[in-house]
A and B are shown apart, each in its own frame.
Chain A
Amino acid sequence: MTDDAHPHQPGSPAVTEPPGRPLRIGRRGLGGRAAVAAGAGLFATSGLRHAARPAPPRAGAAPPADPAWSRELGPGVDDHPYGQPSRYVRDVIRRPVPWLTQTTESSVSFTPLQDQPGIITANGLFFTRDHAGRPDVDPATHRLLIHGLVDRPLLLSLADLQRFPSVSVIHFIECPANGATEWRGAQLDSLQFTHGMIGCAEWTGVRLSTLLEETGLGRQARWLLAEGADGAHMDRSLPLAKCLDDCIVAYGQNGEALRPEQGFPLRLLVPGWQGSLNVKWLRRLEVGAAPWYSREDIVDYTEPMPGGLARAFDWVLYAKSVITYPCPERRLAGAGRYELRGLAWSGKGRIRQVDISLDGGVNWQHATLQAPVLPKALTRFTLPWSWDGRPALLQSRAVDETGFVQPTISELRTVRGSGPIYNNNAIQTWQVKPDGRVFSVQLA
């Protein structure tokens, strides 16, 4: 393609050209001018950038077209120092369910899984659950205190912490209340609101074991209390064995500092265990001999069972999966070829297998697991599908490396009743109607 066949329109305020015959500088000519300009000072792009001139249509108005953005100079590299998503995906945002909580400060905002293409959740879209609003923590004055049954208590600034040997790990965080509204029946017609209390990220920080080797542990040390710097001073008790196995104190998330919504400057990462243990705005770690039985330990994050006793300390998140395309927010365009897509995860390790049913669980076929398949991380699965346009009941079923098989909601209710709030890892059913609309349903 030559310049004659493809006129560029850098324009020039000094030269008036008839519409359709702009001054032809061409890439070579522009580069030459820029090189000269760079030697003399700034290249005055403001004079070059203006609205596209009405040009003789090289294509129709409809796609394929030669639209305005192909016939003008775009903004420079300096207009958004922190990059922004396209304005055309402005509706890809976290969303709360306003009636779920009394306040926005003690509430949750859900990840839009219907728009997550891979296993990593964008930092701005990662679900957030706060208990007393989002504090604006200044890292210059924030400290992490480690004390209790240790030989040498420690007070660390963020800069101190960042001097220790660091690790990066990819793990999901899921609130155990993910799916809570669906225990009693299909209530929310949405992937975002039935499954969006989860996100997966690359976390960077210091292993808790590294820090506890530095402090030493007393003979009676068995438990650890993690406390946040927010107004709730959120505190949870954790068995020390888990802390030393794979927990980290994280300061990085997906290539940048933690966002304030995720605990800037520090949060605890407790891989595969319930989200509320991943204490945000972490400021204190106390080693002790027994659990503290904080309100979040023994009142909030507990589950009354039909017999009257309540389960507590049930920290592990069991295997779960969901089809993310199609879903209520992303309907089908008509009969034809599609790729069914979804996400699977397990707090006990890797996903071994995901099966998909098109007929409400009568017959199943293996989906393809997409690399990487990482322990305690979101795992992508896909299955090609030729939809004949007839009604379908889509389900996915995860099996993890321990052999645990994701249950149906009926099986869960048989054991736990329909009263629970937490740990709903049931198979999700999407009903596809002949017009391509998708609804959340539950099967008998």
Chain B
Amino acid sequence: MYSLPEHPVRTVLAIAGLLVLAQTHAGRAARAPGGGVPRDEQARELSQDAPEVSVDRSTVGRSGIGTVPDAVQIGGWSSAVSPDGRNLPGGRGSVHEGEIVFDHECAGCHGVFGEGVAGYPRLASEDKLTGNRPERAVGNFWPYATTLWDYIDRAMPFAAPHSLTPSQVYAVTAYVLNLNELVPDDFLADKDSLPRIVMPNRDGFILHDPRPDTHDEACMTACRPPDAVRIAATAEGSTVTPRETGPLDPMGRQ
């Protein structure tokens, strides 16, 4: 265990966290695998589960190492957007404006209608999620529209991230939502409208890990009848196994 004087924050949190997590997992086992618990309720539970923070402020700034960034420095990087819309910037974009940006910047991979091209992600789908390995597109899977804004803003276009203006990101977000028939053609995306969108799969997640969900025992002898041992699938002759993908490392050959 940690010594309290040296690691006050970690100690209190770690101990409290382990206890609380253990209790909540035990209490939740009865309804595993968690079906039907509304996501908002789970989110509340997630926050309540999290242990109280007990801070000994004597450690703050103790080493004096590093610098304290100002608001401008923090603002330059702090872009993660959460479901409540915090950190969404000013600007706005329409479905029509988004279509223009999308056709130019996105359709090459994602398809003009968001159908996905050459294995790149499909963006639009109303497929049910009960099939075998269902396609996870925005309309049928993503729980928050804010996640869409955040991802486009931080990572897209694939080859040129951080090249779109906030209003362009709003516009593309509006267009992708419209492709999924989640917003009307005259929808305007901005920092107020995006957090209010209720996505179809918002409650489709199990946020508490229901594992272990297998409960084998380490049987040692006669664990199954020998004649029950049968090969159900083999990779022998598999044509999808790469043999020599390379190039082999030249290792500085002269």
Residues of A within 8 A of B59 (CB): 213-214, 216
Interface string of B213-242 (1 = CB under 8 A from A): 111111111111110111111111110111
Query: Which of A98, A164, A242, A399 interacts with B242 by CB under 8 Å?
Result: A98
Give the dominant DSSP class at A's interface.
loop
Q: Which of B17, B131, B213 has the most CB of A within 10 A?
A: B213
Q: Is the CB of B220 within 8 A of A309?
A: no
Q: Is the CB of B245 within 8 A of A98?
A: yes
A189-B235, A223-B50 as given contacts; A155 in contact with B68, CB under 8 Å: yes
A154-B66, A187-B235, A412-B214 as given contacts; A361 in contact with B10, CB under 8 Å: no
A98-B245, A163-B63 as given contacts; A286 in contact with B68, CB under 8 Å: no
Q: Is the CB of B226 within 8 A of A359?
A: yes
Binds B, one of A32-40, A50-58, A290-298: A290-298
Closest 9 CB pairs of A and B: A241-B17, A222-B50, A209-B10, A189-B235, A216-B60, A407-B214, A419-B133, A360-B229, A233-B154
Binds B, one of A64-72, A80-88, A114-122, A375-383: A80-88
Question: In the complex, A160 Cα to B68 Cα: how many Å?
Answer: 12
Query: Which of B155, B213, B223, B250 interacts with A132 by CB under 8 Å?
Result: B155
Q: Is the CB of A309 within 8 A of B35?
A: yes
B161 at the interface (CB under 8 A from A): yes
Residues of A within 8 A of B31 (CB): none
Give the dominant DSSP class at B's interface.
loop
Residues of A within 8 A of B226 (CB): 359, 362
A147-B78, A439-B236 as given contacts; A308 in contact with B241, CB under 8 Å: no
Q: How far is the CB of A169 from chain B (nearest CB, A)?
A: 15
B90 at the interface (CB under 8 A from A): no
CB-based A-B contact count at 8 angstroms? 351
Q: Is the CB of A84 within 8 A of B223?
A: no
- Residues of B at the A interface (CB closer than 8 Å) are 7-10, 13-14, 16-18, 21, 33-35, 43, 46-47, 50-53, 55, 57, 59-63, 65-69, 73-74, 77-83, 109, 118-120, 128-134, 136, 141-144, 146-147, 150-151, 154-155, 158, 161-162, 204-226, 228-238, 240-242, 244-246, 248-253
Question: In the complex, A314 Cα to B253 Cα: how many Å?
Answer: 45
- Residues of A at the B interface (CB closer than 8 Å) are 80, 84-85, 87, 90-91, 93, 95-99, 102-103, 105-106, 131-132, 145, 147-148, 151-157, 160, 163-164, 185-190, 193, 207, 209, 212-223, 225, 227, 231-233, 235, 239-242, 244-245, 283-284, 286, 288-295, 298-299, 302, 304-316, 318, 328, 353, 355, 359-365, 393, 397, 399, 404-408, 411-412, 415-421, 423, 431, 439-444
Q: Is the CB of A145 within 8 A of B13?
A: no
Q: Is the CB of B161 within 8 A of A404?
A: no
A145-B69, A145-B73, A310-B204 as given contacts; A87 in contact with B242, CB under 8 Å: no
